Amino acid sequence: MKKIPIGIMLLGLLVFIVALIALIVGISTLLPGTPLDIVWNIKNSFPPDFRTIMIGKVFGSFILILGIVMMASVYGLIRGNKIAWWIIVIVFTANLVGDLVSVILGKGIDNIMGILIVGVLLIYMTRPSVRRYFNNN
Domain count, the chain: 1
* Percent of residues, the chain, with pLDDT higher than 90: 55
Q: Are 100 and 115 in contact (CB under 8 A)?
A: yes
- Mean pLDDT (the chain) is 87
* pLDDT at residue number 108: 73
Q: Which amino acid is located at 60 in the chain?
A: G
Rounded CA separation 109/8 (Å):
29
Query: Which are the contacts of 42, defined by CB distance < 8 A and separation ≥ 6?
Result: none
Whether the pTM exceeds 0.85: the reply is no
Q: Which amino acid is located at 14 in the chain?
A: L
Domain assignment present for 1: no
Domain assignment present for 12: yes
Domain assignment present for 96: yes
Domain assignment present for 37: yes
- Exposed/middle/buried for residue 20 (C-beta within 10 Å: 0-12, 13-18, 19+): middle
* pLDDT at residue number 79: 92
Residue 107's domain spans which residues? Answer: 6-136
pLDDT digits (tens, 9 = 90+) for 47-106: 667 767 788 888 889 999 999 999 999 999 999 999 999 999 999 999 999 999 988 888
